[in-house]
Chain A
């Protein structure tokens, strides 16, 4: 089997396929989920305090995709430290915590609280959630706000800091460079697109939050392009996300300049999706005669 290990944003990973935030829970609750081939897991996004989440309906299927507005339902940072981190500490792959806040200082507070907790291997700063009233996307589409949040976290931890970017910007390179300058170790591109679906019986939105984040194969070509643009703009690694359901999808992101990938919505359909994408990429490399993922040709002209 080819050497699948990668080094990304301060972490040495056994494989390039990661579980995306919000699609693997905290990794402990669901026996059906396959953890065998995980390069790393990113936890469900968490705020300092517990959040109930949005009212139903929270999801709706759309052509080759789904809209969600979960609203970052979660138990809060203290429960995460008490209930989940001790389990992560025993796993053979790192777990990053997807952190959220309503202000830059709240993101910093999260990093302080979680830094040094056994089981917490790093942070994925979420400045791109479209489903919260305060914070979220606001920080992700302004380069100064994005940099301020990154800086607030960077100052409070020596653990790897990744920043998850929103596609809802006119030039993702501008945001990518801003958070790179503020000390990010890697970028995750991209979070969901903001979308809307209308119920023609109710003459109104299908989701109670009105809008939701679009994910799934429907967004894949958009995501490949944005991840590629981000990778061209910076010198830190980019982790590609968006509609990956099989090995070939993930390979597109890797060839387009990503160092690793995250599988998300596909896990909802197939609890073994991460492992199958990992195995498929290994088989692809072997079939083409590559002895490691590092030998995969890349298409990454520099800006």
Chain B
């Protein structure tokens, strides 16, 4: 996992946990690429990424001082219900992306924060904790609980989750009221192309980029949401 920081004062000033930016750069792919905002500090924001294809490799090859076009903050982020006293942040792999901002806001609201990191192996686990309690889960048992992050997670007043859609579907089974940030294909990120359709339990679709990417877990029609993406995006 790599972290890229960029100077984006307007985004940094207003971004909320779970919102994303849509990036384009010279000689990059045609469509922008969405990234959850990972951290925000002063005039700067950070995103996290893995090298999964041509686009991310180009981003990682950039030098300090190079410029990207950054559209955002986009979408609706996590909503921290007033009155909640504890929150658990469940992330699988790059799903950790929106969690540092969520932890920051939850702590500011006086909540007790527990992080749950899941991955296939210990080598792929994230280490974010910001000094709070951490639970680890690995598929192979090489660190923490053997099994999924969802199974390892303790209960809390508020459950926030981000990761592979299969993991989020499991979150929905256990905590229908959890808030989950979903991963979809994305075209424009601004609400006009209707490419990031999220199937809803009540029927029809809405837009991950505009009504999402954060949803009440039980509102999504999980079997109809693609769980495998041909290119990895983090939204």
Q: Pick from B185, B190, B194 the residue with the most CB of A within 10 Å.
A: B194
| A265 and B184 alpha carbons, distance in the complex (Å) | 19
- Of A25-33, A110-118, A247-255, the one touching chain B: A25-33
Q: Are A23 and B71 in contact (CB under 8 A)?
A: no
Q: Are A55 and B224 in contact (CB under 8 A)?
A: yes
Contact with A along B113-131 (1 / 0, CB 8 A): 0000000000000000000
Q: Are B204 and A61 in contact (CB under 8 A)?
A: no
The verdict on A59 contacting B187 (CB below 8 Å), with A30-B192, A269-B24 known, is: yes
Minimum distance in angstroms from A199 CB to a CB of chain B: 6
Contact with B along A244-284 (1 / 0, CB 8 A): 00000000000000000000010111110000000000000
Q: Is B144 an interface residue (CB 8 A)?
A: no
Q: Is B31 an interface residue (CB 8 A)?
A: yes
A269 partner, pick from B30, B184, B196, beta carbons under 8 A = B30
The verdict on A59 contacting B204 (CB below 8 Å), with A201-B230, A269-B31 known, is: no
Contact with B along A34-65 (1 / 0, CB 8 A): 00000000000000000011111111110011
A32 partner, pick from B190, B203, B224, beta carbons under 8 A = B190
| A66 and B194 alpha carbons, distance in the complex (Å) | 13
Chain A residues near B77: list those with CB within 8 A: none
Chain B residues near A58: list those with CB within 8 A: 185, 194-197
| A22 and B193 alpha carbons, distance in the complex (Å) | 7
Q: Are A30 and B193 in contact (CB under 8 A)?
A: no
The verdict on A23 contacting B228 (CB below 8 Å), with A55-B199, A57-B185, A268-B31 known, is: no
Interface size classification for chain B: 20 to 34
Minimum distance in angstroms from A244 CB to a CB of chain B: 13
| A268 and B197 alpha carbons, distance in the complex (Å) | 15
Q: Are B228 and A268 in contact (CB under 8 A)?
A: no
Minimum distance in angstroms from A74 CB to a CB of chain B: 9
Q: Are A59 and B195 in contact (CB under 8 A)?
A: yes
The verdict on A32 contacting B71 (CB below 8 Å), with A23-B193, A59-B195, A65-B30 known, is: yes
| A168 and B195 alpha carbons, distance in the complex (Å) | 23
| A53 and B226 alpha carbons, distance in the complex (Å) | 16
Q: Is A68 an interface residue (CB 8 A)?
A: yes
Q: Are A25 and B192 in contact (CB under 8 A)?
A: yes
Minimum distance in angstroms from B226 CB to a CB of chain A: 5
Q: Is A228 an interface residue (CB 8 A)?
A: no
Q: Are A30 and B191 in contact (CB under 8 A)?
A: yes
B interface secondary structure, majority? loop
Residue of A nearest to B231 (CB): A61
Minimum distance in angstroms from B97 CB to a CB of chain A: 21
| A270 and B185 alpha carbons, distance in the complex (Å) | 18
Residue of B nearest to A65 (CB): B30
| A24 and B230 alpha carbons, distance in the complex (Å) | 27
| A272 and B92 alpha carbons, distance in the complex (Å) | 36
Q: Is A216 an interface residue (CB 8 A)?
A: yes
| A24 and B231 alpha carbons, distance in the complex (Å) | 26
Q: Is B152 an interface residue (CB 8 A)?
A: no
Q: Are A33 and B30 in contact (CB under 8 A)?
A: no
Residue of B nearest to A197 (CB): B230
Within 162-202 of B, Cβ neighbours of A (below 8 Å) are at 184-188, 190-199
| A59 and B24 alpha carbons, distance in the complex (Å) | 18
| A30 and B225 alpha carbons, distance in the complex (Å) | 25
Chain B residues near A61: list those with CB within 8 A: 29-31, 231
Q: Are B192 and A60 in contact (CB under 8 A)?
A: no
Q: Is A206 an interface residue (CB 8 A)?
A: yes
Q: Is B32 an interface residue (CB 8 A)?
A: yes
Minimum distance in angstroms from A275 CB to a CB of chain B: 15
Q: Are A269 and B230 in contact (CB under 8 A)?
A: no
Within 19-40 of B, Cβ neighbours of A (below 8 Å) are at 24, 29-32
| A22 and B188 alpha carbons, distance in the complex (Å) | 12
Minimum distance in angstroms from A181 CB to a CB of chain B: 35
Show 16 A/B contacts (Cβ-Cβ < 8 Å), sorted by A: A24-B192, A29-B191, A52-B204, A55-B199, A56-B198, A57-B185, A59-B185, A60-B185, A61-B231, A66-B30, A265-B30, A268-B188, A269-B24, A269-B188, A271-B71, A271-B188
Which 3 pairs, one residue from A and one from B, show the smallest C-beta to C-beta distance? A59-B195, A268-B188, A25-B192
User: Hey, which bits of chain B sit against chain A, CB under 8 A?
Assistant: 24, 29-32, 71, 184-188, 190-199, 203-205, 210, 224-226, 228, 230-231
